Amino acid sequence: MKALIFDVDGTLADTEAVHLRAFNQAFEQEGLDWHWTLAQYTELLAISGGKERMLHFWRQVNPDLTEVGGGAVQATIDHLHEIKTAFYEDAVNQGAVSLRPGVLALMSEARAAGLQLAIATTTSPVNIAALLRGAIGPDWRSHFLAVGDASNAPIKKPHPQVYLKVLADMALPARDCVAFEDSANGLQAAMAAGLSTVITPNDFTAHHAFQGALRVVPDLSAVKLAHLREWHAAVQH
């Protein structure tokens, strides 16, 4: 086991309630009559990626929606997402989210033991920076050998693109790594890249199916490197 690869939203931190508020703030600022409830958003999370999620919703409320010449639909989505991202980044900078239990301790233990860390997320680079700057410090980027995100892996989970990109950037085979995820889409993406995956569900994903996971644990507070080594070794041939 040479590297640990972490999803961000829902895994490093419980971010989705803050994402939800930011989406609704963007809709309101733009004068739209869209407002997502918690229950609605939990269902909409089946679509990974904020832009993809908004487009999916737009098609739900307007089945006749078709892209017109010049890409006006996509431009509207991009504009809304920019506003949403600004609201979200602002909230994170003001301390609206903190890392889930055990995350920082496991990262520190892994680094001290000479393992590499990486990020594999569908979200935008500014959102990762806001979270990890606050949680780790201004040098947070140097803690990770590779960061895969919406800017360099645009095809969203459950597609494995972001995991394949991170593995390629680290020049490591999947069998040398363990991934950490919170959702079914995330697990599918990691598994499709050949990764053993530890799942820490949250309120938004507790009902998801996690067949094929290496382990499903409530959070990382009781997970030490020794456990990961044991679980990982048991599935290697």
Interacting residues with Mg ion (CB under 5 A): 7, 9-10, 182-183, 186
* Helix ranges, the chain (H): 16-29, 38-44, 50-61, 72-93, 103-112, 125-135, 161-170, 184-192, 225-234
> Residue 79 CB, nearest distance to ligand XBP (Å)?
13
- x/- string (CB under 6 A) for ligand XBP, residues 87-126? ----------------------------------xxxx--
> Residue 110 CB, nearest distance to ligand XBP (Å)?
20
- x/- string (CB under 6 A) for ligand XBP, residues 174-213? ---------x-xx---------------------------
SS3 at position 116? strand
**Cis omega before residue 154 (within 30°)?**
no
Instruction: Enter the tokens of residue 122.
Output: 């569908």
Q: Which residues ranging from 8 to 67 are in contact with ligand XBP (CB under 6 A)?
A: 8-10, 16, 19, 48-50
> Residue 123 CB, nearest distance to ligand XBP (Å)?
4
SS3 at position 52? helix
3-state secondary structure 188-205: HHHHHCCCEEEECCCCCC
Catalytic residue check, 7: yes
Active-site residues, by number, are 7, 9
Judged by the rule CB under 6 A, the positions of this chain that interact with ligand XBP are 7-10, 16, 19, 48-50, 121-124, 127, 157, 183, 185-186
